[in-house]
């Protein structure tokens, strides 16, 4: 059992600290020229194409990928540093975040050479946006209940059905989606789904916006009506998507974005409390910082394992479980601690505005990218309980 609980104290190597300085200087410059406001947490949602291109030009997209695809053959730990600095600054990463974290690595592994040569360099340049087509109206956490059908036709497949809760689909150039190519078998209900690369300009695809309770407009419903996908857009094994999902999830689940989503309220709380906290505020802040530090150390440890070519699926699930619960509770804890802040403190309106936003997005944090319940199932499996 203890083998499943390895969180070695990995430290980021010196080249990461050099890179961190560069990223901070770049972001400070972008803030100075008015690209985004670091105190506005929703600026992260902005689809800022020019910013994305400048990040790409810096060489910070596709950091780990082979040079022949536009990548930079640097370490996964360097990618980690770029990600956390962007997240903490509330930088507008919407355009490239999913492509860089998740979609690119899938293409690298499963796409035909022609497609890799076409798309990966454009991801590295910050030019393309990806979305992920997993959930359907009748299939959320239970991915293998997906019904959207891919029917074989001449030279490809015809897609019919609906994906839902698809973040960024309205601005995305591509989607990586799972479609049903065969019915599940009796002994394997996970059989029969295939991963596809979807060009969002394909005729027969309609994107309908779904507004969220937070005021964000990132969700969509995506309807497919006889949308044609050529054969070479199949990613990996036909009917075998379930074998391809696990390693991808370790990348998706353990990153700094899994505990830093509402981090800004902690910074702003410290600002409003000032340099001489009373015991109550100091204790509250001390505990939150201790918890944050611990999660980051766990997350860096997982990044180190990924960097070493391991597949720490259970560790990643643990990081996301603890991390998302923490970032979900954070606005509420900060609200408690801010209750006695002097009403005249100048940054109080900013804190309150941030709190309102963080409190509104908090409920989704333990749902997106694998619910708490799904994660605990994965951890339980790692413990040998199922």
Which residue ranges make up the site for other proteins (CB under 8 A)? 1-2, 4-5, 7-9, 11, 20, 84-85, 88, 263, 266-268, 270-271, 273-277, 279, 281-287, 289-298, 301, 315, 318, 321-322, 373, 375-377, 379-380, 382-386
Minimum gap (Å) between residue 312 Cβ and other proteins: 11
Minimum gap (Å) between residue 64 Cβ and other proteins: 20
Q: Which is nearer to other proteins, 206 or 287 (CB)?
A: 287
Q: Which is nearer to other proteins, 88 or 171 (CB)?
A: 88
Q: Collapsing DSSP states into helix, strand and coil, what is residue 321?
A: helix
Q: Which is nearer to other proteins, 105 or 331 (CB)?
A: 331
Minimum gap (Å) between residue 274 Cβ and other proteins: 7
Q: Which is nearer to other proteins, 174 or 326 (CB)?
A: 326
Minimum gap (Å) between residue 384 Cβ and other proteins: 7
Q: Which is nearer to other proteins, 11 or 217 (CB)?
A: 11
Minimum gap (Å) between residue 22 Cβ and other proteins: 14
The rounded distance, in Å, linking the Cα atoms of 381 and 321 is 15
Residue 138 backbone phi and psi in degrees, to 5: -110, 15
The rounded distance, in Å, linking the Cα atoms of 281 and 269 is 10
Q: For tokens 């333990």, what's the residue?
A: 366
* 88 DSSP 8-state letter: H
Q: Residues 157, 115: contact at Cβ < 8 Å?
A: no
Structural tokens at position 235:
């990613």
Q: Which is nearer to other proteins, 136 or 261 (CB)?
A: 261
Q: At what angle do helices 348-361 and 264-273 cross, to 10 degrees?
A: 150
The rounded distance, in Å, linking the Cα atoms of 174 and 370 is 22
Q: For tokens 């409003």, what's the residue?
A: 272
Minimum gap (Å) between residue 317 Cβ and other proteins: 8
The rounded distance, in Å, linking the Cα atoms of 69 and 268 is 41
Minimum gap (Å) between residue 293 Cβ and other proteins: 4
Dihedral sign (CA 273, 274, 278, 283): positive
Minimum gap (Å) between residue 138 Cβ and other proteins: 21
- Terminal Cα distance for the chain, rounded: 14
Q: Which is nearer to other proteins, 226 or 283 (CB)?
A: 283
Q: Which is nearer to other proteins, 216 or 291 (CB)?
A: 291
Closest alpha carbon to 100 in 114, 88, 86, 90: 86
Q: How many CA atoms lie within 13 A of 354 on its CB side?
A: 27
The rounded distance, in Å, linking the Cα atoms of 287 and 274 is 17
Q: Which is nearer to other proteins, 203 or 384 (CB)?
A: 384
- Cα–Cα distance list, 136 to 141, 165, 263 (Å): 10, 8, 31
Minimum gap (Å) between residue 79 Cβ and other proteins: 15
Task: Give 286's strand partners.
Answer: none
The rounded distance, in Å, linking the Cα atoms of 374 and 280 is 36
């Amino acid at each position: 059992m203890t083998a499943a609980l390895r969180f070695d104290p990995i430290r980021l190597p010196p080249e990461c600290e050099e890179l961190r300085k560069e990223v901070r200087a770049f972001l400070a410059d972008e803030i100075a020229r008015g690209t985004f406001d670091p105190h506005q947490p929703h600026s992260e949602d902005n689809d800022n194409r020019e910013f994305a291109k400048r990040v790409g030009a810096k060489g910070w997209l596709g950091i780990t990928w082979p040079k022949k695809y536009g990548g930079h053959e640097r370490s996964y730990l360097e990618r980690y540093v770029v990600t956390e600095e962007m997240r903490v600054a509330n930088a507008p990463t919407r355009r490239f975040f999913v492509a860089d974290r998740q979609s690119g690595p899938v293409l690298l592994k499963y796409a035909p050479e022609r497609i890799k040569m076409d798309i990966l360099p454009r991801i590295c340049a910050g030019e393309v946006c990806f979305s992920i087509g997993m959930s359907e109206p009748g299939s959320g956490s239970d991915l293998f209940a997906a019904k959207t059908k891919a029917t074989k036709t001449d030279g490809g497949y015809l897609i019919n059905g609906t994906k839902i809760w698809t973040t960024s689909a309205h601005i995305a150039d591509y989607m990586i989606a799972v479609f049903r190519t065969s019915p599940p078998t009796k002994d394997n209900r996970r059989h029969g789904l295939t991963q596809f690369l979807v060009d969002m300009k394909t005729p027969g695809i309609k994107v309908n916006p779904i507004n969220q309770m937070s005021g964000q407009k990132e969700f969509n419903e995506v309807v497919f009506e006889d949308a044609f996908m050529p054969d070479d857009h199949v990613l990996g094994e036909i009917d075998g998507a379930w074998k391809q999902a696990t390693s991808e999830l370790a990348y998706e689940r353990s990153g700094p974005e899994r505990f830093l989503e509402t981090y800004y309220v902690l910074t702003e709380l410290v600002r409003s409390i000032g340099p001489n906290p009373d015991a109550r505020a100091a204790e509250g802040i001390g505990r939150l910082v201790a918890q944050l530090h611990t999660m980051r150390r766990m997350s860096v440890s997982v990044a180190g394992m990924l960097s070493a070519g391991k597949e720490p699926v259970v560790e990643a699930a643990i990081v996301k479980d603890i991390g998302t619960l923490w970032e979900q509770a954070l606005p509420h804890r900060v609200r408690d601690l801010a209750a006695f802040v002097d009403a005249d403190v100048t940054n109080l309106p900013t804190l309150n505005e941030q709190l309102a936003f963080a409190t509104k997005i908090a409920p989704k944090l333990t749902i997106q990218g694998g619910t708490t319940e799904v994660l605990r199932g994965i951890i339980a499996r790692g413990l040998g309980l199922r």
